[in-house]
A = this chain, B = another copy of it.
Amino acid sequence: MTDDRVLAALRAFVAERDWAQFHTAPNLAKSVSIEAAELLECFQWSDEADEARVREELADVLTYCLLLADRIGADPAQLVLDKLETTKQKYPVDLAKGSMIKYDRR
């Protein structure tokens, strides 16, 4: 399954309902945060979470991420790969192995 199939489905869903008018970049950014907190809520009081609920909330976060990527004309996979290159520099293997400490943390 490729991103193309998912993006096409999302675009059709939005177009059918005439919802693109609400999908400004700021509104989509807010939506990503709102859904991210619903995902976090699965783990609010416990490290164990209902799997179906996690899948559903994660789907919502991903959905808004894909809509925002489309809005700004970016390819989600490329965004991740580009950022990964930056992160590799920030956390070289020899310094970062086994540790989460940020070396550039102020």
A→B interface (CB under 8 Å): 1-3, 5-6, 9-10, 13, 16-19, 21-22, 24-27, 29-34, 36-45, 47, 49, 51, 54-56, 58-63, 65-66, 68-69, 72, 74-84, 86-88, 91, 93, 96-98, 100, 104, 106
- State in angstroms the CA–CA spacing of A55 and B5 once bound together: 22
Taking chain A's interface residues, is the majority helix, strand, or loop, or is none over half, making it mixed? Answer: helix
| Nearest CB of B to A51, in Å | 7
Copies of this protein chain in the complex: 4
- State in angstroms the CA–CA spacing of A49 and B36 once bound together: 21
- State in angstroms the CA–CA spacing of A79 and B72 once bound together: 22
Q: Known: A27-B44, A37-B33. Contact between A55 and B80, CB under 8 A? A: no
